[in-house]
Amino acid sequence: MIDPLFLEGIIKILFVFVLISAGLIISTRNLSSVLTTYTVQSFLLAAVSFLLYLIDGKGELLLLAGLTLASKVILIPYFISRIEEKIKIGRDLHFAYLEPTTSLLLSIGIILLSYTFLSKVFEDLPLSKLFFFGAVIGLSLTLMGMLVMFSRKKVVTKALGYLSMENGVLMFGLFVTELPFIIEVLIIIDLIILVMLTTILAVGMDSSIEEYRQKFRKLQVWTGVESQ
C-alpha cells in the first residue's frame, strides 16, 4: 500500500508540469512542438487520474485514465500529426492581438485570478488543499486554452488550444465535480469530431469550392495515400 501523502506529493509536482505545458502551448511557434506539448499535458492528466484512483480506489478514475491515454495521448495526436504532415504547415509565426511574452504575463494573471476567485468560492467548503489546487489548475488551464484560441491564427493551433481548454475542464472535473463516465466518453467523441472538422478547415480555408475539392482529393487526408 502506497502512502497517500506520497501520492499527493507526486500529484502536486504534476500540477507544476501541467502549468508549464500550458505556458509552452501559448508561446511555442513550432506546430509539432505544440502538438508534443499537448500530448505530454494529456499524459500528465492521465497520470493524475491514475494516482487519484490509487488514493480513492474509484474504478471510474482508472477508466478515465485509460480513456485519456487512448484518446488524447495516442489517437488524437496521431491524427493531428497526419494533418500537419499533409498540409505542410510547420510553424505558426503570426499571433493575433497578443505576442507570446504578453500572453505568458497574462497567463500568470489568470492563475492568480483563479486562485483568488476559487478561494472565495470554496472558503466555506471543507475542501482539502490538494483538491483546491487541482480546481485552481483546472480553471487556469481552461482559461489559458481559451487564450490560445484567441491569440493564434492557424486553425490547427486554435484546435490544439481548444483541446488544451478541454483538458482544463477535465482537470477541474477530477477535483471538484464528479462527471459521469458516459459524459467523459461523449466529450472524447466530440473532440474526435472537432479534429475531423479541423482537417476540413485547415485544407480548404483559403480555397474556392473547386480548389478545395482538388486539394482534398490530392491530399487524401482520410485514406493516408497522396495521389500524384
Q: Where are the domains of the chain?
A: 2-88+98-222
Q: pTM for this structure? A: 0.81
Q: What HEC string does 12-61 produce?
A: HHHHHHHHHHHHHHHHCCEHHHHHHHHHHHHHHHHHHHHHHHHHHCCHHH
pLDDT at 228: 46
Tell me which of 140 and 100 has the higher pLDDT: 140
Q: Cβ(76)–Cβ(163) under 8 Å?
A: yes
Total Cβ atoms within 10 A of residue 64: 25
Provide the pLDDT confidence category of residue 111 given band limits of 50, 70 and 90.
Answer: very high
Q: Cβ(41)–Cβ(21) under 8 Å?
A: yes
3-state DSSP assignment of residue 191: helix
Q: Which range scores top for mean pLDDT: 15-24, 196-205, 212-221?
A: 15-24
Q: Identify any residues that bridge with 175 across adjacent strands, giving them in sequence order.
A: none
pLDDT at 61: 86
Phi-psi label, residue 109: left if phi above 0, alpha if psi -120 to 50, beta otherwise: alpha
Instruction: Give me the residue label for grid cell 496521431.
Output: 78
Does the pLDDT at position 99 exceed 90?
A: no
Beta strands (DSSP E) in 76-173 are none
Closest C-alpha among 103, 132, 106 to residue 15: 132
- The grid coordinates listed for 83 are 494533418
